[in-house]
Amino acid sequence: MSQPVSIRNNDGFTLVEVLVAVVILAVGMFGVLQSINVSLQYNLKNELRNEGNRIGEKYMADLRGKTFDKLSTAYTTFNEAGKIRSGTKNYTVERATQILAYDGLQPSTKQVTVIVKWSYRNMTTMNRVVSVVARP
């Protein structure tokens, strides 16, 4: 008859096994936290861009609603507060109109430009909306 093999049954884990498991879990959690941080940053950048687009389209619609003769060729710059999440973000809006063509002595076509600028993490981004308006 063969003798049974003696297996020691130590209930529990050694300290080294616990430390290795904790290190593996910590590395995994740091990866998950980093991916959450990156996704939140991209989400905020998209919200800022969407608000900049909304502001640009709002001012372009305002300019396109004016009659041809009331479209001034003056360059204007002003700030507008955009609503992002539960706070506000400052946007710089630049509006310009330039004459593209003349019909005799009077302008017949104008180009209207609205530029919206904002900063995020020391990086300036802009959205440009351009439209051509002709005399009716």
Average pLDDT value for residue range 23-27: 95
pLDDT at 12 over 80: no
Give pLDDT, residue 9: 60
Burial classification of residue 24, based on how many CB atoms lie within 10 Å of its CB (0-12 exposed, 13-18 middle, 19 or more buried): exposed
| pLDDT at position 5 | 62
SS3 string, the chain, reads CCCCCCCCCCCCCCHHHHHHHHHHHHHHHHHHHHHHHHHHHHHHHHHHHHHHHHHHHHHHHHHHCCCHHHCCCCCEEEEEEEEECCEEEEEEEEEEEEEEEEECCEEEEEEEEEEEEEEECCEEEEEEEEEEEECC
Cα separation values, 101 from 67, 96, 106, Å: 17, 16, 9
What are the domain boundaries of the chain? 15-134
Q: Note the pLDDT of residue 120.
A: 93
What does the pLDDT look like over 51-108, one tens digit per residue? 999 999 999 999 999 999 898 888 999 999 999 888 999 999 999 999 999 998 899 9
Confidence band for 117, pLDDT divided at 50, 70 and 90: very high
pLDDT of 13 reads 76
What pLDDT score does 2 carry? Answer: 63
Give the least confident one: 7-21, 37-51, 88-102, 117-131: 7-21
